[in-house]
Amino acid sequence: MDAIPRTPALTDTASATLFVALELSRSTWLVAVHSPAIDKVGQHRLAGGDTEGLLELVTRKRMQAEEKLGRPVRVACCFEAGYDGFWLHRWLCSHGIENRVLDAASILVDRRARRAKTDRLDVAGLLRTLMALERGETQVCRVVHVPSPEQEDARRRSRERSRLVTERGQQPSRIKGLLMTQGIRDFEPTRSDWQARLEALRTPDGQPLAPCLRAELLRECRRLRQVMEMVAEVEAEQKAVAAAEDGVAARLARLRGIGGTFAAVLGNEVFFRDFRNRREVGAYLGLAPSPWRSGQVERDQGIAKSGNPWARHTAIELAWLWLRYQPGSALARWFHERVAGGKGRMRRIMIVAMARKLIVALWRYVTTGAVPEGAALKA
């Protein structure tokens, strides 16, 4: 009599993968673990930054699973992109743990107005998302492209300059606002003779500035000069790097209308990645459309704005400059034909559409060498 075939257990058919999800915070790390040997999710709490404790936990769980299954067990891990950056991802990969950094905004959540939210629920959701990714459900969330340490370090210059330029614009407004309260309207803190002019300031009734106000203005002006010097220093570093390396930034800077700053931003923020098509380029910058269609309701919500904000702002600013410095290009003609003298909102909408076309044309230029149609190169 033939034996009845045994129904395979879960541990026989399941992939030998240990799933680990991390919920990171400053004080604690919550670790959710699903072992292929036990169909159960366990949660463990570690002190924030305790990498040795995390490695010991993962190693112990993997050895237990390998002992019970009698075969090797791989480890798949994930955590959300956040303030911890990418150092933990590199540390996990260096210890043989396959890790993914997930885009937190792309993870599906309950849409109830008052949904429960705790670290235990969040890490359980991360674990389910990771298991779905391993099953091949690539649309369940977006995986962040982790740059190399060199790429991550190179883009710090452009981001630092952006912050410094913002502060450089705020400081004069602060100084002028303080003087406006005293009736003084004609002081320019960015001039080279600001100190002598500040000493000579008088209120409309001929009185000198109060001592505390004068001391505050001196500190604010010195801070402004320091920020201006820092901006010049960062820009000099960008120019020196572009001159020493014939990279993406140097090739972009050969086009008229693209300076060293914009070339550095696009080179370090966008074109360090390998895109497969123009749709990926537009989506990375958040310039892809986001339609809303349900039944008879159909409307356009504008661009997604889900990509790299530095690159998106730079692309839109560059589109305005492109109209000025590349008036004979095909993109500039395309813009003027569709705007046809329109003003206001129509021009703002069309400049965003042109920015997407421009960034795709620049992607083709840096990858294939095809100069945008009608564009002029610098002498």
Question: Tens digit of pLDDT for each residue in 176-217?
Answer: 999 999 999 989 999 999 999 999 999 999 999 999 999 999
Highest mean pLDDT among 30-39, 137-146, 218-227: 218-227
DSSP reduced 3-state for 71: coil
Amino acid in the structure at residue 136: G
- pLDDT for res 2: 44
- The reported pLDDT for the residue numbered 270 is 92
CB atoms closer than 10 angstroms to residue 272 = 18
Q: Mean pLDDT, the chain, as a whole number?
A: 90
pLDDT of residue 4: 41
Arithmetic mean of pLDDT, 24-48: 93
Q: What is the average pLDDT across 323-333?
A: 94
Helices H / strands E in the chain, number of each: 14, 7
Report the DSSP beta bridge partners of residue 79: 22, 101
Q: Cβ of 364: how many Cβ atoms within 10 Å?
A: 14
Quote the pTM value.
0.81
CA 363 to chain CA centroid, nearest Å: 18
Query: 34-43, 47-56, 239-248: lowest mean pLDDT where?
Result: 239-248
Q: What is the mean pLDDT of residues 32-59?
A: 93
Quick one: pLDDT at residue 220? 96
Give percent of the chain above pLDDT 70.
96
φ, ψ of residue 299 to 5 degrees: the values are -150, 165
**Top-confidence residue, 15 or 144:** 144
Stated length of the chain: 379
How high is the pLDDT of residue 291? 85
| For residues 97-108, average pLDDT | 92
Of the candidates 287, 286, 246, 283, the one whose C-alpha atom is nearest the C-alpha of residue 267 is: 246
3-state secondary structure labels for all residues of 240-268 = HHHHHCCCHHHHHCCECCCCHHHHHHHHH
Interatomic CA distance for residues 95 and 282, integer angstroms: 35
Pairing mode, strands 297-303 and 74-80: unpaired
| pLDDT tens digit sequence for 242-293 | 878 778 888 999 999 999 889 989 998 999 889 999 999 999 999 988 888 8
